[in-house]
A and B are shown apart, each in its own frame.
Chain A
Amino acid sequence: MQAPGGAQVESAGGCLPPDPEDIYAKMKGAAMRPRSEAEVSEAIRAAAGPLAIVGGGTRRLGEVSGAVVETGGLAGVRLYEPGALTLVAGAGTPLAEVEALLAGERQRLAFEPPDLRGLLGRSGSSTLGGVAAANASGPRRVQVGACRDAMLGLRFVDGRGDVVKNGGRVMKNVTGYDLVKLLAGSRGALGVITEVSLKVQAVPEAEATLICEAGEVAGLALLHAALKTPFDLSGAAWAGGRVFLRVEGLAGSVAYRAGALRTALAGDWRLADGTESTKIWRDVRNVAAFAGKPGAVWRLVVKPTAAAGIVAQLGAAQAIYDWGGGLVWLLTEADADVRGAVGGHGHATLVRSLPGMAQPLLPPEAPAVATLTARLRASFDPRGLFAGGTA
């Protein structure tokens, strides 16, 4: 069959044996590894019970339940046009391969997907499909949006085994419903993503990070103030008693904006650039400070000015604030009432649970939203094959 990029997709045939390195394959021993959309469709149509769709297994919430369908056989870059900032690749394409290809043209994924392997204790190799299905987005979200905002189109196979295309590979497209957004972050609940089309970004000439020591409340106030300036921040975070503000762009512009921020914001600021700046944001993005530390890890998406108050209610919890306070990573005891503290200011996902914790991983939805969500899931997946999809 013909893929949108013009490349030939492999025809149906027997499934390959599972990748021996894949932890989920090891767990289940009998993972299916389809090599084409047609094989994905066959696997879904033939399924007798629940399926677990697995990319690299690096950012899944919770345990795998169901027969594993591993997407590594759906790999390969189908189209890359640096001049149009566009890349189309199979869902099983390793993220590292995509990032290396882009780096060769001095380009990158603007939404800088986090690598949560350290945090979650996983060892697999992250895939593009997994990034899309988790809507995995890093610190630059405050400037360029999330993974979903960079997704131009996709192909997927729904729970009926039907192959579906939505969106395309152009920057502006309002032709029909935007199922791309619906599938982004759907965590395998609606179908198996087989191909993703992305908008990419040129690596800017320069990057610099302003650093200032500050407590949580004062630090968050600095983040809010910084994001109200016209200086176009690409990162605004607080971690380990320090505020980090990142600016990127042409060298003169970076120097100008870093200087202007220093003038506008009270504090004893220091400037980091090059590898120091890169490491700061890699650590923020990957929640490196909580990797290997005991405790439950929560991911809160909240109204930024509510963040400090929420954390203050939780006593001993440790926090990392990203997205100007809009994203909070929390390291807590098992019995911390995180969702009670969040209240109506956003929502909390339990990304790393402790034995004995009974809370659902995903936050509850309002009844009217839950009804629509359940009906959508039943429509895309009438047999309930992906029931374990959103854990």
Chain B
Amino acid sequence: MDMPHPSPAILSRRDQIVAGLRALLPGDAVIDDPAETRAYECDALAAYRCAPLAVVLPRTTAEVAATLRFCHDNRVQVVPRGAGTSLSGGSMPTADSVVLGVARMNAVLETDYDNRFIRVQSGRTNLSVTGAVEAEGFFYAPDPSSQLACAIAGNVAMNSGGAHCLKYGVTTNNLLGVTLVTMDGTVVELGGPWAETAGLDLLGVVCGSEGQLGVVTEATLRILPKPEGARPVLVGFASNEVAGACVSDIIKAGILPVAIEFMDRPCIRACEAFAKAGYPDCEALLIIEVEGSDAEIAEQLARIKSIALSHDPVEFREAADEDQARRIWLGRKSAFGAMGQINDYMCLDGTIPVSSLPYVLKRIGELSRDFGLEVGNVFHAGDGNMHPLILYNANTPGQLETCEALGAEILKLCVEVGGCLTGEHGVGIEKRDLMGVQYTPADLEVQMRVKDVFDPRWLLNPAKVFPLDASAGRRAG
């Protein structure tokens, strides 16, 4: 993984830059002790690390604006950071950059149940947003699996999804407004506690821009009344094709489960060995969850059962009570841990049209054999968002590189069948150099021009998203 060489001019002004930041911010907001900045050297893509020049942890929008204006005037690159849970290296620093972390900005600013929104500072964790409104019977829908730790700032930057977005959508569908600070320190209010804007939807393009257009310090989020209940079923199949056909039939029938999760045999076996959830030993397994009152759940499950049985499953398991429901989810929820138990793994995130599922799984099996690395598949089947997990051993020289090469082939396959490189983790540094597979130079040029508008000097998280050679001229400027 290439990163741009740090600027010697910036590194030589290190003390001056740190002193300048200290002059603007409270004493504890600026960290430059190498022992402490090391904590910010990577995010959840831990294979790549680089300690930043300094770390700034502001508490207010005004402090964020002061930091950005100073870095802008001094041409210092800034890497925004939420909770550092990015799986794509979205908040990985370079040695000549300042990390701007929003972790200390975690207040709830306003809750409004009549208008169904909450306004929070962006460092607040995803799950604690729901925590702030659940006593009133509400929740915040996007639920990335890192939701205990991840921050709203990162969710907005990456347009995060989750297991339940089949019904509720991803971050962009649940985001009403943000306070954005652009690189020159300008504070911009986009959207608000109303449904949409009348002019250009700047909020729509800021969400998912991976911290390259501005730093989000506050967010107005749509909250929803919590459903009365939820229940999963588990269905085992003798082939991936049949499981895929069953998913398609359920969706076509107009039943809208909140989640349809898919696991293939390597993943089922690993989870079973790890969590002992009592899963059937079969080729493919679906976990389908529906919501509503008891009667509504029963009505939906009856339809799902009749569709599933028409596909001749090897097992159809209903949950009679809370404990059985928990056991159905147990294996799926421990899938990543189970795979990690076997070996190091790399988690991919491509999305495919649901109809291509059997073909893609077959090809992944072939590629896995060609590269000599095992792959387990667990994914959100309802929306085609795949998470192939490639197992490798980081201590075996060359295996990381082989794993990355296999990962690239799998992502190219996703694009080839009409899908995309990343469904919810973001491009970051991880998929940056594959962007040319999905987009033409003209497609990327127009996206980079959007960054030119928000950050003409390309100082904000510049070495991400776009292939380095494509962005080289702009980053040099």
Among B98-106, B268-276, B445-453, the stretch in contact with A: B445-453
A311 to chain B, nearest CB (A): 15
Asked whether, in the complex, the Cβ of B207 is within 8 Å of the Cβ of A181, the reply is yes
B252 touches A (CB below 8 Å):
yes
Asked whether, in the complex, the Cβ of A202 is within 8 Å of the Cβ of B453, the reply is no
Chain B residues with Cβ below 8 Å from A375 are: 453
CA distance A156 to B114 in the complex (A): 39
Asked whether, in the complex, the Cβ of A164 is within 8 Å of the Cβ of B442, the reply is yes
Asked whether, in the complex, the Cβ of B385 is within 8 Å of the Cβ of A347, the reply is no
B195 to chain A, nearest CB (A): 5
Given contacts A346-B192, A369-B189, contact A305 B450 (CB under 8 A): no
Out of A171, A185, A250, A365, which one reaches B303, CB within 8 Å?
A250
CA distance A305 to B116 in the complex (A): 10
Asked whether, in the complex, the Cβ of B453 is within 8 Å of the Cβ of A174, the reply is no
**Nearest CB in chain A to that of B228: its residue:** A230
B67 touches A (CB below 8 Å):
no
Q: Which residues of chain A in 173-219 are interfacial with respect to chain B, using CB atoms and an 8 Å cutoff?
A: 173-182, 184-186, 189-190, 201-205
CA distance A4 to B189 in the complex (A): 36
CA distance A169 to B200 in the complex (A): 23
A81 touches B (CB below 8 Å):
yes
Asked whether, in the complex, the Cβ of A181 is within 8 Å of the Cβ of B172, the reply is yes
CA distance A165 to B447 in the complex (A): 10
Asked whether, in the complex, the Cβ of A166 is within 8 Å of the Cβ of B443, the reply is yes
Asked whether, in the complex, the Cβ of B198 is within 8 Å of the Cβ of A363, the reply is yes
B59 touches A (CB below 8 Å):
no
Chain B residues with Cβ below 8 Å from A169 are: 353, 418
Chain B residues with Cβ below 8 Å from A301 are: 194-196, 198
A293 touches B (CB below 8 Å):
no
- Max chain A C-beta neighbours (<10 A), residue from B169, B254, B385: B254
Given contacts A172-B383, A202-B252, contact A372 B443 (CB under 8 A): no
B12 touches A (CB below 8 Å):
no
Indicate with 1 or 0, residue by residue over A69-103, a CB within 8 angstroms of chain B CB atoms. 00000000000011111100000000000000000
A390 touches B (CB below 8 Å):
yes
Chain A residues with Cβ below 8 Å from B443 are: 164-166, 176
Asked whether, in the complex, the Cβ of B204 is within 8 Å of the Cβ of A181, the reply is yes
B327 touches A (CB below 8 Å):
no
**Nearest CB in chain B to that of A254: its residue:** B296
Given contacts A83-B251, A83-B355, contact A373 B427 (CB under 8 A): no
Q: Which residues of chain A in 359-382 are interfacial with respect to chain B, using CB atoms and an 8 Å cutoff?
A: 362-363, 365-366, 368-369, 372-373, 375-377, 379-380
Asked whether, in the complex, the Cβ of B200 is within 8 Å of the Cβ of A84, the reply is no
CA distance A180 to B207 in the complex (A): 12
Asked whether, in the complex, the Cβ of A170 is within 8 Å of the Cβ of B196, the reply is no
Chain B residues with Cβ below 8 Å from A203 are: 254
Asked whether, in the complex, the Cβ of B200 is within 8 Å of the Cβ of A376, the reply is yes
CA distance A149 to B204 in the complex (A): 10
Q: Which residues of chain B in 90-143 are interfacial with respect to chain A, using CB atoms and an 8 Å cutoff?
A: 112-116, 137
A210 to chain B, nearest CB (A): 17
Chain B residues with Cβ below 8 Å from A363 are: 198-199
Indicate with 1 or 0, residue by residue over B167-195, a CB within 8 angstroms of chain A CB atoms. 00110110000000010001111101111
Given contacts A179-B450, A228-B113, A379-B449, contact A368 B187 (CB under 8 A): yes
Chain B residues with Cβ below 8 Å from A178 are: 159, 172, 204-205, 207-209
Asked whether, in the complex, the Cβ of A250 is within 8 Å of the Cβ of B296, the reply is yes
Asked whether, in the complex, the Cβ of A182 is within 8 Å of the Cβ of B351, the reply is no
Asked whether, in the complex, the Cβ of A302 is within 8 Å of the Cβ of B194, the reply is yes
Interface size class of A (residues with CB under 8 A): 35 or more
B165 touches A (CB below 8 Å):
yes
B1 touches A (CB below 8 Å):
no
Asked whether, in the complex, the Cβ of B114 is within 8 Å of the Cβ of A304, the reply is yes
**Nearest CB in chain A to that of B138: its residue:** A228
Q: Which residues of chain A in 323-338 are interfacial with respect to chain B, using CB atoms and an 8 Å cutoff?
A: 323, 326-327
Chain A residues with Cβ below 8 Å from B424 are: 172, 174
B288 touches A (CB below 8 Å):
no
Given contacts A165-B440, A202-B251, contact A175 B420 (CB under 8 A): yes
Out of A84, A135, A170, which one reaches B420, CB within 8 Å?
A170
**Nearest CB in chain A to that of B296: its residue:** A253
CA distance A253 to B254 in the complex (A): 13
Asked whether, in the complex, the Cβ of A172 is within 8 Å of the Cβ of B465, the reply is no
Chain A residues with Cβ below 8 Å from B161 are: 172, 174
Out of A84, A175, A253, which one reaches B355, CB within 8 Å?
A84
CA distance A230 to B112 in the complex (A): 16
Given contacts A205-B254, A368-B188, contact A184 B165 (CB under 8 A): no
A273 touches B (CB below 8 Å):
no
A288 touches B (CB below 8 Å):
no
Asked whether, in the complex, the Cβ of A305 is within 8 Å of the Cβ of B385, the reply is no
- Max chain A C-beta neighbours (<10 A), residue from B113, B353, B385, B426: B353
CA distance A169 to B202 in the complex (A): 22
B239 touches A (CB below 8 Å):
no
Given contacts A170-B383, A174-B425, A346-B194, contact A162 B252 (CB under 8 A): no
CA distance A365 to B380 in the complex (A): 39
B201 touches A (CB below 8 Å):
yes
**Nearest CB in chain B to that of A164: its residue:** B446
A45 touches B (CB below 8 Å):
no
CA distance A158 to B159 in the complex (A): 25
B359 touches A (CB below 8 Å):
no
Chain B residues with Cβ below 8 Å from A177 are: 205, 208-209, 447, 450-451, 465
- Max chain A C-beta neighbours (<10 A), residue from B114, B299, B442, B452: B114
Q: Which residues of chain A in 237-283 are interfacial with respect to chain B, using CB atoms and an 8 Å cutoff?
A: 249-250, 252-253, 256-257, 260
Asked whether, in the complex, the Cβ of B193 is within 8 Å of the Cβ of A250, the reply is no
Q: Which residues of chain B in 195-249 are interfacial with respect to chain A, using CB atoms and an 8 Å cutoff?
A: 195-205, 207-209, 225-228, 248-249
Out of A85, A230, A349, which one reaches B198, CB within 8 Å?
A349
Q: Which residues of chain B in 421-443 are interfacial with respect to chain A, using CB atoms and an 8 Å cutoff?
A: 421-427, 431, 435, 438-440, 442-443
CA distance A305 to B117 in the complex (A): 12
Chain A residues with Cβ below 8 Å from B196 are: 135, 146, 148, 185, 301
Chain A residues with Cβ below 8 Å from B205 are: 177-179, 181-182
B316 touches A (CB below 8 Å):
no
Show the binding face of A for B, using Cβ within 8 Å.
4, 81-86, 105-106, 135, 141, 145-146, 148-149, 158, 162-166, 168-182, 184-186, 189-190, 201-205, 224, 227-230, 232, 249-250, 252-253, 256-257, 260, 301-305, 323, 326-327, 345-347, 349, 362-363, 365-366, 368-369, 372-373, 375-377, 379-380, 390
15 contacts between A and B (CB under 8 A): A86-B353, A165-B440, A165-B443, A166-B446, A172-B423, A177-B451, A178-B208, A180-B204, A182-B204, A189-B200, A224-B115, A250-B303, A305-B114, A362-B199, A373-B202
